[in-house]
Amino acid sequence: MESSSSSSSSLSGFIAKATADVNGGFGLSDSRSDNLKGILLAVLASAFIGSSFIVKKKGLKRAGSSGPRASVGGYGYLLEPLWWIGMVTMIVGEIANFVAYIFAPAVLITPLGALSIIVSAVLADFLLNEKLQKMGILGCILCIVGSTMIVLHAPSERSLNSVEEIWGLATQPAFLVYTALAVASVLVLMFHCAPSYGQTNILVYIGICSIIGSLTVMSVKAIGIAIKLTLEGWSQVSCYQTWIFAMVAITCVITQLNYLNKALDTFNTAVVSPIYYAMFTSLTILASAIMFKDYSGQSVTSITSELCGFITVLSGTVVLHSTREPDPATSTDLYSPLSPRISWYIQGNGEAWKQRDEDGLSADFVTILRQDYFA
Protein backbone atom coordinates (compact mmCIF):
# COMPACT_ATOMS: atom_id res chain seq x y z
CA MET A 1 0.00 0.00 0.00
CA GLU A 2 2.77 2.36 0.90
CA SER A 3 4.48 1.57 -2.41
CA SER A 4 1.23 2.20 -4.31
CA SER A 5 0.63 5.46 -2.45
CA SER A 6 4.20 6.55 -3.07
CA SER A 7 3.92 5.76 -6.76
CA SER A 8 0.63 7.66 -7.00
CA SER A 9 2.15 10.65 -5.26
CA SER A 10 5.18 10.60 -7.55
CA LEU A 11 2.94 10.39 -10.63
CA SER A 12 0.82 13.31 -9.41
CA GLY A 13 3.93 15.37 -8.78
CA PHE A 14 5.28 14.57 -12.23
CA ILE A 15 2.01 15.57 -13.90
CA ALA A 16 1.84 18.84 -11.93
CA LYS A 17 5.42 19.69 -12.88
CA ALA A 18 4.80 18.85 -16.53
CA THR A 19 1.66 20.99 -16.55
CA ALA A 20 3.53 23.92 -15.01
CA ASP A 21 6.32 23.57 -17.55
CA VAL A 22 3.84 23.48 -20.43
CA ASN A 23 1.97 26.53 -19.13
CA GLY A 24 5.21 28.40 -18.58
CA GLY A 25 6.34 27.46 -22.06
CA PHE A 26 3.10 28.73 -23.60
CA GLY A 27 3.40 31.96 -21.61
CA LEU A 28 6.92 32.50 -22.92
CA SER A 29 5.77 31.59 -26.41
CA ASP A 30 2.89 34.08 -26.27
CA SER A 31 5.24 36.80 -25.05
CA ARG A 32 7.72 36.11 -27.83
CA SER A 33 4.87 35.99 -30.35
CA ASP A 34 3.67 39.43 -29.25
CA ASN A 35 7.20 40.81 -29.47
CA LEU A 36 7.54 39.36 -32.97
CA LYS A 37 4.27 40.98 -34.03
CA GLY A 38 5.46 44.31 -32.64
CA ILE A 39 8.82 44.01 -34.43
CA LEU A 40 7.22 43.17 -37.78
CA LEU A 41 4.77 46.07 -37.45
CA ALA A 42 7.59 48.46 -36.47
CA VAL A 43 9.69 47.40 -39.48
CA LEU A 44 6.63 47.74 -41.75
CA ALA A 45 5.92 51.18 -40.26
CA SER A 46 9.53 52.26 -40.90
CA ALA A 47 9.27 51.13 -44.52
CA PHE A 48 6.05 53.10 -45.08
CA ILE A 49 7.23 56.22 -43.23
CA GLY A 50 10.67 56.22 -44.87
CA SER A 51 9.22 55.84 -48.36
CA SER A 52 6.55 58.47 -47.67
CA PHE A 53 9.24 61.13 -47.26
CA ILE A 54 10.55 60.40 -50.74
CA VAL A 55 7.13 60.27 -52.40
CA LYS A 56 6.06 63.53 -50.74
CA LYS A 57 9.31 65.22 -51.75
CA LYS A 58 8.81 64.18 -55.38
CA GLY A 59 5.29 65.59 -55.17
CA LEU A 60 6.62 68.84 -53.71
CA LYS A 61 9.22 69.13 -56.47
CA ARG A 62 6.61 68.50 -59.16
CA ALA A 63 4.27 71.09 -57.63
CA GLY A 64 7.13 73.59 -57.24
CA SER A 65 8.04 73.32 -60.91
CA SER A 66 4.69 74.83 -61.89
CA GLY A 67 4.10 77.30 -59.06
CA PRO A 68 5.36 78.71 -55.76
CA ARG A 69 7.27 76.20 -53.64
CA ALA A 70 5.99 75.17 -50.21
CA SER A 71 9.04 76.77 -48.55
CA VAL A 72 7.93 80.23 -49.74
CA GLY A 73 4.27 79.79 -48.81
CA GLY A 74 2.94 77.93 -51.83
CA TYR A 75 0.15 75.37 -51.46
CA GLY A 76 0.15 73.92 -54.97
CA TYR A 77 1.26 70.56 -53.57
CA LEU A 78 -2.28 70.08 -52.22
CA LEU A 79 -3.39 69.55 -55.83
CA GLU A 80 -0.56 67.12 -56.55
CA PRO A 81 -1.69 63.42 -56.40
CA LEU A 82 1.86 62.23 -55.70
CA TRP A 83 2.01 64.30 -52.50
CA TRP A 84 -1.27 62.80 -51.30
CA ILE A 85 0.01 59.28 -52.04
CA GLY A 86 2.98 60.07 -49.81
CA MET A 87 0.68 61.45 -47.11
CA VAL A 88 -1.50 58.33 -47.13
CA THR A 89 1.61 56.17 -46.99
CA MET A 90 2.81 58.05 -43.92
CA ILE A 91 -0.58 57.68 -42.20
CA VAL A 92 -0.51 53.91 -42.84
CA GLY A 93 2.98 53.78 -41.36
CA GLU A 94 1.97 55.72 -38.25
CA ILE A 95 -1.04 53.42 -37.73
CA ALA A 96 1.25 50.39 -37.97
CA ASN A 97 3.60 52.03 -35.47
CA PHE A 98 0.68 52.70 -33.13
CA VAL A 99 -0.41 49.05 -33.25
CA ALA A 100 3.20 47.91 -32.69
CA TYR A 101 3.17 49.63 -29.29
CA ILE A 102 0.21 47.43 -28.30
CA PHE A 103 2.18 44.21 -28.73
CA ALA A 104 5.74 45.12 -27.74
CA PRO A 105 7.41 47.38 -25.16
CA ALA A 106 8.38 50.93 -26.09
CA VAL A 107 12.06 50.18 -25.36
CA LEU A 108 11.92 47.81 -28.36
CA ILE A 109 9.67 49.71 -30.79
CA THR A 110 10.99 53.27 -30.43
CA PRO A 111 14.66 52.61 -31.38
CA LEU A 112 13.51 50.67 -34.47
CA GLY A 113 12.26 53.99 -35.85
CA ALA A 114 15.81 54.54 -37.11
CA LEU A 115 15.09 52.00 -39.86
CA SER A 116 12.90 54.61 -41.59
CA ILE A 117 16.03 56.74 -42.01
CA ILE A 118 17.72 53.87 -43.88
CA VAL A 119 14.70 53.39 -46.16
CA SER A 120 14.58 57.12 -46.87
CA ALA A 121 18.33 57.34 -47.61
CA VAL A 122 18.35 54.32 -49.94
CA LEU A 123 15.25 55.42 -51.88
CA ALA A 124 16.60 58.97 -52.15
CA ASP A 125 19.71 57.56 -53.81
CA PHE A 126 17.62 55.84 -56.51
CA LEU A 127 14.65 58.18 -56.93
CA LEU A 128 15.96 61.66 -56.09
CA ASN A 129 19.60 61.33 -57.17
CA GLU A 130 20.71 62.22 -53.64
CA LYS A 131 23.78 60.01 -53.64
CA LEU A 132 24.44 57.83 -50.61
CA GLN A 133 28.09 58.29 -49.68
CA LYS A 134 30.35 55.52 -48.34
CA MET A 135 30.03 56.89 -44.81
CA GLY A 136 26.27 56.92 -45.31
CA ILE A 137 26.38 53.20 -46.13
CA LEU A 138 28.39 52.68 -42.93
CA GLY A 139 25.68 54.57 -41.03
CA CYS A 140 23.01 52.26 -42.49
CA ILE A 141 24.99 49.19 -41.46
CA LEU A 142 25.41 50.54 -37.92
CA CYS A 143 21.65 51.15 -37.67
CA ILE A 144 20.90 47.59 -38.81
CA VAL A 145 23.45 46.04 -36.43
CA GLY A 146 22.20 48.12 -33.50
CA SER A 147 18.56 47.32 -34.25
CA THR A 148 19.39 43.61 -34.38
CA MET A 149 21.06 43.81 -30.95
CA ILE A 150 18.00 45.58 -29.53
CA VAL A 151 15.63 42.95 -30.97
CA LEU A 152 17.68 40.02 -29.67
CA HIS A 153 17.87 41.39 -26.11
CA ALA A 154 14.56 43.25 -25.81
CA PRO A 155 12.42 42.53 -22.72
CA SER A 156 9.04 40.84 -23.03
CA GLU A 157 5.85 42.88 -22.91
CA ARG A 158 4.15 42.96 -19.53
CA SER A 159 0.65 41.45 -19.50
CA LEU A 160 -1.98 44.09 -18.62
CA ASN A 161 -5.65 43.25 -18.16
CA SER A 162 -7.37 46.62 -17.70
CA VAL A 163 -6.96 50.36 -18.04
CA GLU A 164 -7.20 50.59 -14.25
CA GLU A 165 -4.02 48.54 -14.07
CA ILE A 166 -2.27 50.90 -16.50
CA TRP A 167 -3.57 53.84 -14.45
CA GLY A 168 -1.99 52.28 -11.39
CA LEU A 169 1.36 52.19 -13.19
CA ALA A 170 0.95 55.80 -14.34
CA THR A 171 0.18 57.03 -10.81
CA GLN A 172 3.00 55.20 -9.03
CA PRO A 173 5.33 57.65 -7.21
CA ALA A 174 8.34 57.12 -9.49
CA PHE A 175 6.41 57.93 -12.68
CA LEU A 176 4.60 60.85 -11.05
CA VAL A 177 8.00 62.33 -10.19
CA TYR A 178 9.13 61.83 -13.81
CA THR A 179 5.91 63.43 -15.13
CA ALA A 180 6.24 66.40 -12.75
CA LEU A 181 9.87 66.98 -13.78
CA ALA A 182 8.93 66.63 -17.46
CA VAL A 183 6.06 69.14 -17.24
CA ALA A 184 8.17 71.59 -15.22
CA SER A 185 11.03 71.34 -17.72
CA VAL A 186 8.68 71.90 -20.67
CA LEU A 187 7.10 74.96 -19.04
CA VAL A 188 10.53 76.48 -18.37
CA LEU A 189 11.64 75.81 -21.95
CA MET A 190 8.39 77.15 -23.43
CA PHE A 191 7.96 80.36 -21.43
CA HIS A 192 11.52 81.26 -20.41
CA CYS A 193 13.98 79.76 -22.88
CA ALA A 194 12.01 79.71 -26.15
CA PRO A 195 11.37 83.49 -26.40
CA SER A 196 15.04 84.30 -25.78
CA TYR A 197 17.00 81.35 -27.16
CA GLY A 198 14.59 79.41 -29.38
CA GLN A 199 15.96 80.88 -32.61
CA THR A 200 19.61 80.33 -31.69
CA ASN A 201 19.77 77.19 -29.51
CA ILE A 202 18.57 74.02 -31.23
CA LEU A 203 18.10 72.20 -27.91
CA VAL A 204 15.20 74.42 -26.83
CA TYR A 205 12.61 73.35 -29.42
CA ILE A 206 13.93 69.80 -29.67
CA GLY A 207 13.97 69.50 -25.88
CA ILE A 208 10.27 70.40 -25.73
CA CYS A 209 9.43 67.90 -28.50
CA SER A 210 11.44 65.09 -26.91
CA ILE A 211 10.15 65.50 -23.36
CA ILE A 212 6.54 65.81 -24.50
CA GLY A 213 7.13 62.95 -26.94
CA SER A 214 8.03 60.54 -24.13
CA LEU A 215 4.67 61.28 -22.46
CA THR A 216 2.93 60.94 -25.83
CA VAL A 217 4.23 57.40 -26.29
CA MET A 218 3.15 56.37 -22.78
CA SER A 219 -0.39 57.69 -23.26
CA VAL A 220 -0.67 56.28 -26.80
CA LYS A 221 0.46 52.88 -25.54
CA ALA A 222 -2.22 53.02 -22.82
CA ILE A 223 -4.88 53.86 -25.43
CA GLY A 224 -3.66 51.05 -27.66
CA ILE A 225 -3.92 48.50 -24.86
CA ALA A 226 -7.42 49.79 -24.02
CA ILE A 227 -8.47 49.30 -27.67
CA LYS A 228 -6.96 45.81 -27.73
CA LEU A 229 -8.80 44.80 -24.54
CA THR A 230 -12.06 46.25 -25.89
CA LEU A 231 -11.75 44.27 -29.12
CA GLU A 232 -11.10 41.12 -27.08
CA GLY A 233 -14.42 41.60 -25.24
CA TRP A 234 -13.39 43.58 -22.13
CA SER A 235 -14.73 47.04 -22.94
CA GLN A 236 -12.64 49.90 -21.54
CA VAL A 237 -14.77 52.69 -23.02
CA SER A 238 -16.67 53.33 -19.79
CA CYS A 239 -13.47 53.76 -17.78
CA TYR A 240 -12.69 57.43 -17.16
CA GLN A 241 -8.97 56.62 -17.22
CA THR A 242 -9.23 55.77 -20.93
CA TRP A 243 -10.48 59.27 -21.72
CA ILE A 244 -7.82 60.91 -19.54
CA PHE A 245 -5.13 59.04 -21.48
CA ALA A 246 -6.81 60.13 -24.75
CA MET A 247 -6.86 63.83 -23.75
CA VAL A 248 -3.24 63.67 -22.62
CA ALA A 249 -2.25 62.03 -25.92
CA ILE A 250 -4.05 64.65 -28.04
CA THR A 251 -2.55 67.55 -26.06
CA CYS A 252 0.95 66.09 -26.22
CA VAL A 253 0.76 65.31 -29.95
CA ILE A 254 -0.38 68.84 -30.83
CA THR A 255 2.34 70.44 -28.68
CA GLN A 256 5.00 68.07 -30.00
CA LEU A 257 4.16 68.71 -33.67
CA ASN A 258 4.00 72.46 -33.12
CA TYR A 259 7.51 72.71 -31.69
CA LEU A 260 8.94 70.13 -34.09
CA ASN A 261 7.75 72.28 -36.99
CA LYS A 262 9.42 75.29 -35.37
CA ALA A 263 12.68 73.35 -35.04
CA LEU A 264 12.58 72.20 -38.67
CA ASP A 265 11.72 75.69 -39.88
CA THR A 266 14.55 77.29 -37.90
CA PHE A 267 17.42 74.79 -38.16
CA ASN A 268 18.91 72.44 -40.74
CA THR A 269 17.01 69.16 -41.01
CA ALA A 270 20.26 67.19 -41.15
CA VAL A 271 21.07 68.54 -37.67
CA VAL A 272 17.55 68.38 -36.21
CA SER A 273 16.86 64.73 -37.12
CA PRO A 274 19.71 62.95 -35.28
CA ILE A 275 19.46 65.18 -32.19
CA TYR A 276 15.69 64.73 -32.01
CA TYR A 277 16.00 60.96 -32.51
CA ALA A 278 18.61 60.70 -29.74
CA MET A 279 16.71 62.79 -27.19
CA PHE A 280 13.23 61.46 -28.00
CA THR A 281 14.30 57.80 -27.97
CA SER A 282 16.38 58.15 -24.79
CA LEU A 283 13.57 59.85 -22.86
CA THR A 284 10.97 57.39 -24.16
CA ILE A 285 13.07 54.42 -23.03
CA LEU A 286 13.53 56.08 -19.63
CA ALA A 287 9.80 56.83 -19.24
CA SER A 288 8.83 53.30 -20.30
CA ALA A 289 11.37 51.74 -17.94
CA ILE A 290 9.93 53.77 -15.03
CA MET A 291 6.25 53.27 -15.84
CA PHE A 292 6.14 49.70 -17.17
CA LYS A 293 9.34 48.43 -15.48
CA ASP A 294 10.46 46.94 -18.80
CA TYR A 295 13.84 45.85 -17.47
CA SER A 296 12.49 44.12 -14.37
CA GLY A 297 13.77 40.55 -14.27
CA GLN A 298 16.32 41.04 -17.05
CA SER A 299 19.96 40.16 -16.58
CA VAL A 300 22.66 42.81 -16.52
CA THR A 301 24.05 41.30 -19.74
CA SER A 302 20.75 41.75 -21.61
CA ILE A 303 20.30 45.32 -20.40
CA THR A 304 23.88 46.22 -21.31
CA SER A 305 23.54 44.60 -24.74
CA GLU A 306 20.36 46.54 -25.47
CA LEU A 307 21.93 49.84 -24.40
CA CYS A 308 24.94 49.09 -26.62
CA GLY A 309 22.53 48.38 -29.46
CA PHE A 310 20.82 51.72 -28.92
CA ILE A 311 24.17 53.56 -28.87
CA THR A 312 25.11 51.77 -32.11
CA VAL A 313 21.84 52.86 -33.76
CA LEU A 314 22.39 56.40 -32.52
CA SER A 315 25.93 56.43 -33.94
CA GLY A 316 24.65 55.15 -37.28
CA THR A 317 21.97 57.84 -37.37
CA VAL A 318 24.50 60.61 -36.73
CA VAL A 319 26.92 59.23 -39.36
CA LEU A 320 24.13 58.85 -41.92
CA HIS A 321 22.86 62.40 -41.44
CA SER A 322 26.35 63.89 -41.39
CA THR A 323 26.88 62.70 -44.99
CA ARG A 324 23.66 64.22 -46.32
CA GLU A 325 24.02 66.99 -48.84
CA PRO A 326 22.12 70.15 -47.83
CA ASP A 327 19.04 71.00 -49.85
CA PRO A 328 19.59 73.80 -52.36
CA ALA A 329 18.34 77.25 -51.51
CA THR A 330 14.71 77.76 -52.47
CA SER A 331 14.44 81.48 -51.95
CA THR A 332 13.38 83.61 -54.88
CA ASP A 333 16.20 86.04 -54.10
CA LEU A 334 19.29 84.82 -55.95
CA TYR A 335 21.50 86.60 -53.47
CA SER A 336 19.86 85.44 -50.24
CA PRO A 337 22.61 84.55 -47.76
CA LEU A 338 23.45 81.04 -46.65
CA SER A 339 26.46 81.38 -44.38
CA PRO A 340 28.70 84.37 -43.69
CA ARG A 341 28.04 86.99 -46.31
CA ILE A 342 31.06 88.77 -47.81
CA SER A 343 30.89 91.86 -50.04
CA TRP A 344 33.72 93.14 -52.20
CA TYR A 345 34.35 96.86 -52.39
CA ILE A 346 36.77 99.22 -54.15
CA GLN A 347 38.18 102.18 -52.34
CA GLY A 348 38.64 105.53 -54.04
CA ASN A 349 42.30 104.74 -54.84
CA GLY A 350 41.33 101.52 -56.66
CA GLU A 351 42.47 99.13 -53.91
CA ALA A 352 40.23 96.08 -53.56
CA TRP A 353 38.95 95.35 -50.07
CA LYS A 354 36.36 92.90 -48.72
CA GLN A 355 34.27 93.18 -45.63
CA ARG A 356 31.44 91.41 -43.76
CA ASP A 357 28.01 93.00 -44.13
CA GLU A 358 27.69 93.57 -40.40
CA ASP A 359 30.79 95.80 -40.39
CA GLY A 360 30.38 99.49 -40.97
CA LEU A 361 30.88 100.88 -44.46
CA SER A 362 32.53 104.14 -45.31
CA ALA A 363 30.91 106.39 -47.89
CA ASP A 364 33.90 106.18 -50.28
CA PHE A 365 33.48 102.44 -50.93
CA VAL A 366 31.56 101.26 -53.97
CA THR A 367 30.14 97.75 -54.32
CA ILE A 368 31.28 95.91 -57.46
CA LEU A 369 30.20 92.39 -56.59
CA ARG A 370 27.26 91.99 -54.31
CA GLN A 371 28.38 88.89 -52.40
CA ASP A 372 30.14 85.54 -52.40
CA TYR A 373 29.28 82.57 -50.24
CA PHE A 374 31.63 80.60 -48.10
CA ALA A 375 30.37 77.33 -46.63
CA distance 59 to 209: 27
pLDDT digits (tens, 9 = 90+) for 185-225: 999 999 999 999 988 898 999 999 999 999 999 999 999 98
pLDDT attached to residue 325: 60
pLDDT at residue 123, rounded to an integer: 85
Phi, psi of 366 (to 5 degrees): -125, 130
Q: Is the pLDDT of residue 288 over 80?
A: yes
| pLDDT at residue 257 is higher than 90 | no
**Cα–chain center distance at 18:** 44
Tell me, what's the pLDDT at 324? 64
Residue from 100, 312, 314, 130 nearest 217 by CA: 100
Q: What is the predicted pLDDT for the residue at 72?
A: 54
Mean pLDDT in residue range 116-135: 82
**Three-state DSSP string of the chain:** CHHHHHHHHHHHHHHHHHHHHHHHHHHHHHHHHHHHHHHHHHHHHHHHHHHHHHHHHHHHHHHHCCCCCHHHCCCHHHHCHHHHHHHHHHHHHHHHHHHHHHHCCHHHHCHHHHHHHHHHHHHHHHHCCCCCCHHHHHHHHHHHHHHHHHHHHCCCCCCCCCHHHHHHHHCCHHHHHHHHHHHHHHHHHHHHHHHHHCCCCHHHHHHHHHHHHHHHHHHHHHHHHHHHHHHCCCCCCCCHHHHHHHHHHHHHHHHHHHHHHHHHHHCCHHHHHHHHHHHHHHHHHHHHHHHCCCCCCCCHHHHHHHHHHHHHHHHHHHHHHHCCCCCCCCCCCCCCCCCCEEEEEECCCCCEEEEECCCCCCCCCEEEEEEEECC
How many alpha carbons fall within 13 Å on the CB side of residue 375?
A: 4
pTM recorded for the entire structure: 0.69
pLDDT value of residue 326: 56
pLDDT category at 365 given cuts 50, 70, 90 is very low
Q: What are the pLDDT digits (tens) for 144-194? A: 898 888 888 878 777 788 899 999 999 999 999 999 999 999 999 999 999
Please report which confidence band the pLDDT of residue 69 belongs to, taking 50, 70 and 90 as the band edges. Answer: low
Confidence band, pLDDT 50/70/90 cuts, at residue 270: low
The pLDDT of residue 21 is above 80: no
Amino acid identity for residue 252 in this structure? C
In the predicted model, what is the mean pLDDT of residues 287-304?
Answer: 86
